[in-house]
Chains A and B, each alone.
Chain A
Amino acid sequence: MTKAEKNRLKLLEKVTKMQGVYGMSLISRILIPVTVLLIDIMLLFAAAEDDELYMILPFHIFFATIFIGTMSYIATSYISNIQTLTSNNTAAMGIGGSMNGSDFLSTLPFHAKDVIYMRVKNFQIQLFTAIGTTIIVQILCMLAGNKGYTMHCGFGGATVIVLVIYELIMMSTLYMKKPVPVMLTTAAAAAFPVVSIMGMASFADDHEKSAEFAAAVEFLEVFAEVPGMIFLAVCGVAIAFAAKKIADSKQNVSWNLR
């Protein structure tokens, strides 16, 4: 990269920041999953102290679903961007799914490839912030020392694994310039609830059980068996497809304009 190109890239970054892209993305894309995750973990903390984990199980599933859904949305809208980029378009991909503003960058005197680079970078910042936050929360859980919290390693581990898989898929797509097979994304999304609930079930198995807790464990263990895992995988696929549909419906409007 020549000095002039580097300067141009710095200028583009400045313009991008000036337009408040980072702020908008952080609020809409990171704050929601992180807040949901934190509420979920606070609930788990409170419940684990009284060995009443089963009491908050519906809430846990609810919050985890929002978390997975949001992360899937981020990842799939990102993948949609790159798919469109590689199959049809150059610069016409959104920043965080937003076409407003992303077109603005494309109209300015910058190379399309640099605009794409900046958008990918923006998305990576969001994803890595989400991954980082999750890791920190999980470490805090483990440091808390209560056996009840360690089970959340499964949850956090799964999040990290899934996000890393997403990231790898996206990056390889970008460099290979081939659209990502949807099934790869959906498989990654499906892995998340499976690993999470398996982690929860394995913790519950070791724990001193009350009758109610034993019932909850029995329920959870179903998901660690093959049929339960298939069920979860189907749910994961459905979530990923729904997220992709939302992402597509929002973005194709602009992409398909003639």
Chain B
Amino acid sequence: MNDILNINNLCKDYKDFKLDNVRFSIEPGTVMGLIGQNGAGKTTIIRLIMNMIDRTDGKITVCGFDNIADEIAVKNKIGYVSDECYLFYNSTLAKTAQACALAYENWDKEKFSKLIKMWDLPEKKKISAFSKGMQTKAMLAIALSHKPQLLILDEPTAGLDPVARIEILDILREFVADGERSVLFSTHITGDLDKIADVITLIIDGKIRESMSIDLIEDKYAVISGANDKLTRDNEKYTIGIRKTNAGFEALVLRENLGKFNGVSVRNPNVENLLTFSIWQNRKELAV
């Protein structure tokens, strides 16, 4: 089956940052969680997919279409929600919908009306007067109403109340349920990804560290914890990120290396563990 999104050798050079040979793909019917610390390159990847910034090198295809050569076709296939509201603040939702109806090939007016009614979004009120949650819902309503194949969400649930967050996660689940559409979901709220993501892509300092099925995280990694005397110079090098306190240590390790540690507790990692320990490991490597 053809990938919904395919990114190959993607590079972007800034003065103080480099996105380095990023490659990953999203299969139909999949929710991919893009995780990484602030400034790791998540939004750069998303803006490159949207052709909002120039890439230095590489190739991006959406449903087989090149995102630059076939930009119009690609943008018709993408629904985009950003962390900051990108809609015209001085405009109203009604006017924005009119503009979208003109621009998109498959604009579904009825679906848009249904969504804004469900979320109690006022059509005639200026978008600048919307709360953060309302702005996110407005962007999502627009993103869903032109029947995209790929939904790209950049930190959509940050700043939302729990009910709105759960509602949005339900919508994403529904969106991929037919197995033909996909979601790329960048977030810091890793709990959301535990709930809905099928695949996790971890990016650190512009490089992809891991891109794998969420189910395989537990097969590949483990979190160990114990007293500090259980940690030796020999076995510490097998940790992938470690957190030490006076009370003891906690570390992420490959399951295949569990035998190097004696007398420690072992538990399954979640997405947050993968993220935080990988960041600590990266800091340690940079310090060396």
Question: A residues within 8 Å of B by Cβ?
Answer: 8, 11-12, 14-15, 18-21, 23-24, 88-92, 100-101, 103-104, 106-112, 254, 256-258
Select one of B42, B53, B105 contacting A109, CB under 8 A. Answer: B105
Interchain CA distance A258-B43 in the complex, whole Å: 4
Q: Which of B54, B72, B78 contacts A90 (CB 8 A)?
A: B54
Bound CA–CA A103/B142 (angstroms): 14
Q: Which residues from chain B contact A109 at a C-beta distance below 8 Å?
A: 71-73, 75-76, 103-105
Closest beta carbon of chain A to B49's beta carbon, Å: 11
Q: Which 9 pairs across A and B sit closest by C-beta, in order of nearness?
A: A103-B86, A101-B88, A109-B75, A258-B44, A108-B103, A89-B53, A15-B99, A19-B88, A109-B72
How many angstroms from the CA of A88 to the CA of B18 in the assembled complex?
12
CB closest residue in chain A, given B53: A89
- Flag whether B17 is at the interface (Cβ < 8 A): yes
Q: Are A107 and B88 in contact (CB under 8 A)?
A: no
**Per-residue contact bits, chain B 21-54, to A (CB 8 Å; 1 contact, 0 not):** 0000000000000000001111110010011111
Q: Is B86 touching A91 in the complex (CB atoms < 8 A)?
A: no
Complex contacts, B96 vs chain A, CB 8 Å = 19, 104
B40 pairs with A89, CB closer than 8 A: no
> Is B247 part of the binding interface, using a Cβ–Cβ cutoff of 8 Å?
no
- Give the chain B neighbours of A14 by CB distance below 8 A: 102
Known A89-B53, A103-B86, A108-B75; contact A257-B100, beta-carbon cutoff 8 A: no
| Chain A residues, CB < 8 A from B190 | none
Near A by CB (< 8 A), chain B positions 3-26 give 14, 17, 19
Query: B44: which A residues are within 8 A, CB to CB?
Result: 257-258
Interface: B95 (CB within 8 A): yes
| Bound Cα distance A20, B99 (Å) | 11
- Beta-carbon contacts of B76-98 to A below 8 Å, as 1s and 0s? 10101010111111110001101
- Residues of the B chain whose Cβ atoms lie less than 8 Å from the Cβ of A254: 84
Pair A108/B100 contact, Cβ less than 8 Å: yes
Tally of chain B residues near chain A (CB < 8 A):
40
Q: Which residues of the partner chain B approach A12 to less than 8 Å between Cβ atoms?
A: 103
Q: Which of A21, A89, A100, A106 contacts B85 (CB under 8 A)?
A: A100
Are A90 and B52 in contact, with the CB atoms below 8 A? Answer: yes
| Further contacts, 14 of them, CB under 8 A, given A90-B52, A100-B89 | A15-B102, A18-B95, A19-B95, A20-B95, A88-B53, A91-B51, A100-B87, A101-B87, A107-B75, A107-B80, A109-B105, A110-B103, A257-B43, A258-B17
A19 CB contacts on chain B under 8 angstroms: 88, 90-91, 95-96, 99
Closest to A258 in B: B44
* A170 CA to B47 CA, complexed, in Å: 25
Q: A90-B51, A106-B50, A110-B103 are in contact. Are A258 and B40 (CB under 8 A)?
A: yes
Q: Which residue of A lies closest to B71 (CB)?
A: A111
Task: Report yes or no: A88 in contact with B75, Cβ–Cβ below 8 A.
Answer: no
Instruction: Please tell me if the beta carbons of B14 and A11 are within 8 angstroms of each other in the complex.
Output: no
Q: Is B52 a contact partner of A92 (Cβ separation < 8 A)?
A: yes
* A11 touching B103 in the complex, CB below 8 Å, given contacts A88-B14, A101-B91, A110-B75: yes
Chain A residues, Cβ within 8 Å of B76? 109
27 contacts between A and B (CB under 8 A): A12-B103, A14-B102, A18-B95, A20-B90, A24-B90, A88-B14, A89-B52, A89-B54, A90-B52, A91-B51, A91-B52, A101-B91, A103-B52, A103-B86, A104-B86, A104-B87, A107-B78, A108-B100, A109-B71, A109-B75, A109-B105, A110-B71, A110-B103, A111-B71, A112-B51, A112-B52, A258-B44
B280 CB to closest chain A CB, in angstroms? Answer: 20
Please give the distance in Å from B8's CB to the nearest CB on chain A. Answer: 19
B56 shortest CB reach to chain A, Å:
9
Residues from chain A with a CB closer than 8 A to the CB of B40 are 258
Could you say which residues of chain B place their CB within 8 Å of the CB of A8? 72
Whether A20 pairs with B91 at a CB distance below 8 angstroms is: yes
Within the complex, the shortest CB–CB distance from B244 to chain A, in Å, comes to 30
Known contacts A15-B99, A18-B99, A112-B71: A88-B91 contact under CB 8 Å:
no
| Whole-angstrom distance between the Cβ of A253 and the nearest chain B Cβ | 9
The chain A residue with its CB closest to the CB of B77 is: A109
Pairwise interchain contact A107-B43, C-beta atoms closer than 8 A = no
Bound complex: CA of A112 vs CA of B40, how far in Å? 25
In the complex, chain B residues whose CB is within 8 Å of the CB of A89: 52-54
Give the complex CA separation of A178 and B122 in angstroms. Answer: 44
Q: Which residues of A contact B100 (CB under 8 A)?
A: 108
Q: Which residues of A contact B51 (CB under 8 A)?
A: 90-91, 106, 112
Which residue of A88, A104, A256 contacts B88 across the interface (Cβ within 8 Å)? A104
Q: Which residue of A lies closest to B98 (CB)?
A: A18
